Amino acid sequence: MKKESLGEKQRRFTRMIADLIKFAYDNGYELTFGDAYRDPRVFGEVGEPKGYGRSRSNHKIRLAVDFNLFKDGKYLTSTEDHRPLGEYWESIGGSWGGRFNDGNHYSLEHEGRR
């Protein structure tokens, strides 16, 4: 089996995010983007600790996004609030941050990182 390139994985991730957004809206939620891409000019290259966040964050390679979640006009902040979306995300192959105390984080594993 051919190993998926980073570019191929980024394109798959983008499609998965579209599916997650549709799932959210179909279930009465609304979203805004939190952190998506972390520009290396500001946050350092992968492995470089600069700015906030992890030095080897998948945000730096376009494989992670944080969402702000709303329902009925109310901003929802707890990991439990994100559970329906997180479990859906996992069911389509993603890694949900709610499993490691970051409930609004949705990513795709790459080289052992989520």
Q: What is the pLDDT at residue 83?
A: 98
Name the residue with higher pLDDT: 2 or 63. Answer: 63
What domains sit in the chain, N to C, each tagged with a CATH number? 6-107 (3.30.1380.10)
pTM as predicted: 0.84
| Mean pLDDT, the chain, integer | 87
Looking at per-residue pLDDT, the higher value among 38 and 27 belongs to: 27
Output the pLDDT for position 40: 66
* pLDDT tens, residue by residue, 38-88: 566 555 555 555 554 554 578 888 999 999 999 999 999 999 999 999 999
Check whether 114 has a pLDDT greater than 80: no
Rounded Cα distance between 8 and 6, Å, is 5
DSSP 31-100: EEE-S----HHHH-STT---SSS-TT-GGGGT-EEEEEEEETTEEE-SHHHHHHHHHHHHHTT-EEGGGG
Q: Supply the pLDDT for residue 41.
A: 57
Q: Which residue has the higher pLDDT, 16 or 52?
A: 16
What pLDDT was estimated at residue 70?
Answer: 98
